[in-house]
Amino acid sequence: MESKDGTVVGRDDIWLDGVYGSSLPLIPNPSPDQSWLVKDMGMLENGPEIEMKFNTGEKISEEEEEEVEVDAEDREDASLEIYQLIGLLSRDDGFPPLPFEFVMKNSADYKVKSQQQQKSSYELIQMTRIENFGDFSHPQLDVESGGSNKEKGLGLIRMLLATADLMGSQQYDAAFQMLLQCKQLSTPYGDSMERIGYYFTDAMEEKIELDTRGFINTMTSAENLLNIKEKIKEVEMASISWYQSLPYSKVAHFTANQAILEAVGTASNIHIIDFDIKDGLQWPNLMQSLILRQSGPPEILKITAITRQRFHKTKKAGKRLSSFAKSLNISFTFKMVIINKINDVNSDMFGVDPMEAVAVNASVMLQGLFQEPNSLRLIVDVIASLQPLVFTVIHNEGEHNSISFVKRFIEVLFYYSAIFDSLDAVYERWDLSRVRVERFFVAPGIRNMVAHEGNKRVIRHVEAEVWGSFMKQAGFRGLAFSDQAKYQAGLVAKDFSGG
């Protein structure tokens, strides 16, 4: 990864282990006048022409592209890890209406109750793990008798685990009756344990439908279909709110950017190939870092985004990034490579120039291919053939790929308890942004990992060692984070109110 006289020499394949570290936090949290992130990066909608190519090499002009009516199928990738957006938006999931008290309560009420809730959801579930989950054959909890938050939380956890055990042995009638009891203790507007109960109960109910009937009773109403565009907007708002309010995505992006920045060195011609660009929120930070290099900004920065036929969102991200690059006086090119399926990817479609310093970014996309090992190996082999200076992979670490439903359920429950506690740390209980993030951003991941099996279960978090072994077999080697990355990772994490 050394460079001399502005020319990158050699090849250094880097595998980023996990989501730890940071890049230069130039704008870790935008101020009011830095609205580019708050409002979908706030860049000009009428940005420059974006080059779009199908895998056949056919170019699409602006005039030839038809702006179709947005529907759920067009936006199935509308936010991070929303792989089941179609099902989420097209079915009436019975989400309860906003209660009057939710509107009327203020933050002071929340703080009082938070102090009373002495144990976090993560700690409560940890307590049940220490108990070795006890005997949950016939858990009993009188939901009318009151009791402390801790007692109710422990009771709900035991009931969820008992239900999972019944489902694991295919005792679906008994499991459904247990879920009815769980519902009495669950609400999307309560404390973190009540909210966890609500979303896990919903996912388990869906699994029972799939296992017993083979399909989900969507009961799609005309009113629900009419609100699809509004719900898509809610998903996008949830994605932005997640990115702004919690450190996970931003620290991951900044870490990958730091690795890219160090790998390209003083190169003047930089080409980034992004397999998972989504809203493009990762790249403004890198652009700002590049213009602060001692060698100055690159002569040309190119980003190639791989997307499927539903390319409207990617095109929108490209226009915004182009506008942002223009504001920094960076010579910038954005190209979309549109494919029908992931196996269509080949090295010829990226137009890599031998003089370019190439970096490849895969974000969380690859972990969705674990159920298709041949496709995963194909993608990694194509990436290797591009001879990138750096290959960054962001993934969520966990043991969520077990074929045993009960084992997977326990790990997913434990994992998301920490997520819900994090949300409690940064959002007031009565904040609608929290409801939006949990419903449209977090819940689909729970539903996919709990309710689905086989190729339908596309979210498969695995341990870092699994990734390490796979990448090593593909010819890549890991590289430790630099001291700069570690230092700035701490700065980014501390910048968040809940950090």
Residues 481-494 as b or e (16 or more Cβ within 10 Å = b): beeebeebbeebbe
In 3D, which of 455, 253, 235, 236 has the Cα closest to residue 342?
455
> Could you give the CA distance from residue 77 to residue 84 in angstroms, rounded to a whole number?
8
Confidence of residue 269 (pLDDT cuts 50, 70, 90): very high
Q: Average of pLDDT values for 103-124?
A: 50
Give ranges for CATH 3.40.50.150 in the chain: 3-66+246-397+462-494
Q: Average of pLDDT values for 166-195?
A: 93
In 3D, which of 365, 386, 291, 295 has the Cα closest to residue 332?
291
Q: Average of pLDDT values for 228-245?
A: 82
pLDDT at residue 400, rounded to an integer: 65
Q: Above 60 in pLDDT, residue 41?
A: no
Long-range contacts of 125-131 (CB under 8 A, 24+ apart): 125/157, 125/413, 125/414, 125/417, 126/414, 127/154, 128/154, 128/157, 128/158, 128/161, 129/414
Q: Above 70 in pLDDT, residue 482?
A: yes
- By the 10 Å C-beta count (0-12 exposed, 13-18 middle, 19+ buried), 278 is classed as buried
Q: Above 70 in pLDDT, residue 341?
A: yes
Confidence of residue 194 (pLDDT cuts 50, 70, 90): very high
Could you list the beta-strand ranges (E) of 310-352.
332-339
Q: Average of pLDDT values for 78-82?
A: 32
Tokens at 413, concatenated? 């429950």
> Could you give the CA distance from residue 313 to residue 317 in angstroms, rounded to a whole number?
6
Q: Average of pLDDT values for 101-115?
A: 45
For the chain, percent of residues with pLDDT exceeding 70? 66
- The more confident residue out of 152 and 336 is 336
> Could you give the CA distance from residue 96 to residue 483 in angstroms, rounded to a whole number?
48
Q: Above 80 in pLDDT, residue 77?
A: no
pLDDT at residue 141, rounded to an integer: 46
Q: Are strands 14-15 and 477-478 parallel, antiparallel or unpaired?
A: parallel
pLDDT mean across residues, the chain: 73
Q: Above 50 in pLDDT, residue 113?
A: no
> Could you give the CA distance from residue 272 to residue 256 in angstroms, rounded to a whole number?
12
Q: Average of pLDDT values for 286-315?
A: 90
Q: Average of pLDDT values for 433-457?
A: 90
Q: Above 70 in pLDDT, residue 19?
A: no
pLDDT at residue 150, rounded to an integer: 72
Q: Above 70 in pLDDT, residue 410?
A: yes
pLDDT at residue 86, rounded to an integer: 32
pLDDT at residue 480, rounded to an integer: 81
Contact residues for 146 (Cβ-Cβ < 8 A; gap 6+): none
Q: Above 90 in pLDDT, residue 206?
A: yes
Tokens at 18, concatenated? 């996990």
pLDDT at residue 443, rounded to an integer: 93
Q: Above 70 in pLDDT, residue 145?
A: no
pLDDT at residue 183, rounded to an integer: 92
Write the CATH number of the domain with boundaries 3-66+246-397+462-494: 3.40.50.150
Could you list the beta-strand ranges (E) of 113-246.
none
pLDDT at residue 442, rounded to an integer: 92
- The more confident residue out of 78 and 116 is 116
Q: Average of pLDDT values for 111-126?
A: 55
pLDDT at residue 310, rounded to an integer: 64
Confidence of residue 155 (pLDDT cuts 50, 70, 90): confident
The CA–CA distances, whole Å, from 20 to 256, 280, 389, 452, 481 equal: 9, 20, 20, 29, 9
Q: Above 50 in pLDDT, residue 414?
A: yes
Q: Average of pLDDT values for 4-22?
A: 30
Confidence of residue 295 (pLDDT cuts 50, 70, 90): very high
Confidence of residue 47 (pLDDT cuts 50, 70, 90): very low
Q: Above 60 in pLDDT, residue 190?
A: yes
